[in-house]
Amino acid sequence: MKNYLIYCLLIFCIQAAVCSSIANAQDDTPTLINPGLRSLGSPINTLQFSEFAPTISADGKTLIYESDKSGRWRLYISYQQNGAWSEPKDMDVINNRVQPGDFIGGPCFSYDGNRLYFTSNMKGTVGGMDLWYSEKINDVWQAPKNMGRTVNTAGYDGFPCVSPDNKTLYFMRAGNSNSPTGQRCCILMYAEKRGNYFINPKALPAPVNTGCEGYPRIMADGKTLIFSSYRTSGKGGYDLYQSKKTGSKWSTPVAMEFINTPKDDELISVPASGDVIYLSNTNKNNKDDIYRLPLPKEFRPEEVVLVEGVVKNEETNKPMPAIIRVSNIKTKEKISETENDSLSGKYNLYLQKGKKYDVSVTSKGYSFQSEVYDLEKAVAYETIKKDMVLEPLKLNASFRLNNLFFDFDSASLTKESELELDRVIEMMKTNATMQVEISAHTDDMGSDAYNQKLSQLRAESVVKYLTLHGIITTRLVAKGYGESVPSVPNDTEENRAKNRRVEFKIIKL
């Protein structure tokens, strides 16, 4: 009996030791203490390995991050489906280019979701560490490309991100000093896009750069920058700071105390909604996991509006490739020009509040479609779904000039019509033998005679603008139809607005 009791006690001690060892080995408690912190859990996070440097797509539905679960760092991608993250997939088209001993890290989505920027010293690197990207074409990520000598130097260049309009690149470059912990300090750089390349990188001014900065991330408003910095006022190591741009000046960086720890804090990601932040944090097992946390209001970027949809061929109703241009309708300044996904036809735009936008979609051999988005009074993030339909240019084809506006009860064109009229001019110059009828229509408010006269005068106003800008009169016919050809019944105010229109009809090619 005594031997039996000793045996039971021995088994109990062994089991207790094993359980204690397992508990200690699997302690994934984060070092960051915040009641809103939520682990992404399985299948993203693992107990045995590290998950690090998350980048979330602008719509919050795709996650790319680093993990060492294969024995070395590689990039993985996961999609949010029905509120849960899918099993991560190895981004082998990129990872397989990285040899043992090479570095890859710091992934960052472009806001249109069509490029992934990252850092590597893989074969083809210009210097010690370079900026790279992979492009998504027809929903397939392509082999990585070096961003070239216009931004990469013989030294260290890393951790890139790009503004929502794809016009400004931010990254970090090795400086000339070391941090108190012995790490090489970096400075934050930016480069503007000219044609297809980012050129002439410059250091961001003080108070952003103070001598030891890194890991920049520009938010969806194009004005709010979050970055890491080693500063004497910090909690220790690199802390996260936020600065906002007004004109060409940056505000004094504010420490993000709700997220900073005594360890190095870096590499965060915020979707376009601006209300949540994704980060990696070291747990008590000395492994990194990925978390999400509500972003306090004082740190949220300015609200933007997501416009997304599919570009389709009017004849076949199938997706088609196109170019999407965004301009300030009041100043005519071009803000961005992007291509949609040529296979799915999908496009997405992130428009900052406070402006009125002209958005046009064009493709060679087709009509164009345009829309106005007035965000001057926008107050919250929202998603607008808008499919765009292009009609092949052929005899008798007719399409509406959506962004054409007249003064109330008048034939005088407003200045906001000029971008639309300039597109007509460009189309007619490209198709030099084309002849068109400018057809103007009204709703049923007012007498038939008055509406007929008003529509004729409006058609003539459009023709006058076109002739003053180089289109000869023999190629143009002005025709007013009054209320005689409604596109929809005049039974609601919304339908009446649809009937007040000007159309472009091809009468000769």
Calculate the dihedral angle through the C-alpha atoms of 305, 309, 315, 321, rounding to the nearest 10 degrees: 100
Q: Domain spanning 394-509 has what CATH number?
A: 3.30.1330.60
Give the span between the Cα atoms of 55 and 63, in whole angstroms: 6
Superfamily assignment of 27-298 in CATH? TolB, C-terminal domain (2.120.10.30)
Tokens coding 191: 């480069």
Closest CA to 216 of 194, 234, 241: 241
Residue 38 phi/psi, 5-degree rounding, is -130, 125
- Cα–Cα distance, 216 to 172 (Å, whole number): 7
Helix (H) or strand (E) holding 428: helix 418-430
In order of 139, 321, 335, 442, 470, the CA distances from 362 in angstroms are 21, 9, 16, 27, 21
**Strand ranges inside 363-460, DSSP E:** 369-374, 382-385, 388-390, 398-400, 435-441
Query: What is the b/e burial string over 241-271, where b = at least 16 CB atoms within 10 angstroms of the residue's CB?
Result: bbbbbeeeebeebebbebbbbeebbbbbbbb
C-alpha span between 193 and 191 (Å, rounded): 7
What φ, ψ does residue 501 adopt, rounded to 5°?
A: -155, 160
Q: Is 90 exposed, middle or buried (0-12, 13-18, 19+ CB in 10 A)?
A: middle
Q: How far apart, in whole angstroms, are the C-alpha atoms of residue 415 and residue 406?
A: 9
Going by C-alpha positions, the residue among 254, 235, 257 that lies closest to residue 243 is 254
The pLDDT, as a whole number, for residue 26 is 55
pLDDT at 66: 96
Instruction: Please list the ranges in the chain whose pLDDT falls under 50.
Output: 1-25
pLDDT tens-digit map of 34-77: 889 999 999 999 989 999 999 999 999 999 999 999 989 999 99
H/E element, 171: strand 168-178
How many C-beta neighbours within 10 Å does residue 174 have?
A: 18
Count Cβ atoms within 10 A of the Cβ of residue 477 and give its class: 0-12 exposed, 13-18 middle, 19 or more buried.
middle
Which residues on adjacent β-strands are paired with residue 226?
217, 242
- CA-wise closest residue to 130 among 99, 162, 154, 95: 154
The token pair that represents 489 in the structure block? 């019944």
What are the backbone angles phi and psi of residue 317, rounded to the nearest 5°?
60, 20
Which CATH number does 303-392 carry? 2.60.40.2190
Peptide linkage before 207 cis (omega within 30 of 0): yes
Residues 6+ apart with CB under 8 A from 297: none
C-alpha distances (whole Å) from 47 to each of 78, 375, 453 are 18, 46, 76
Write down the pLDDT at residue 22: 40
Torsion, Cα 114 119 122 126, to 10 degrees, reads 100
> CA separation (Å) from 343 to 201, 211, 311?
34, 46, 10
**Domain extents in the chain:** 27-298, 303-392, 394-509
169, burial (CB in 10 Å: exposed 0-12, middle 13-18, buried 19+): buried
- With 0-12 / 13-18 / 19 or more C-beta atoms within 10 angstroms meaning exposed / middle / buried, residue 97 is middle
The answer to whether 147 and 198 have CB atoms below 8 angstroms apart is yes
Contact 136, 164 (CB under 8 A): no
Rounded-to-integer distance, Cα 193 and Cα 430, Å? 27
Same fold, 303-392 and 394-509: no
- As a whole number of angstroms, the distance between CA 374 and CA 384 comes to 12
DSSP secondary structure letters along 390-413: E-B--TT-EEE-TT--B-TTSSPB
Locate tokens 């009996």: which residue?
1
Question: Can you read off the two tokens belonging to residue 372?
Answer: 């106005």
Residue 27 is predicted with a pLDDT of 63
- pLDDT at position 15: 46
- Paired sense of beta strands 382-385 and 435-441, if any: unpaired
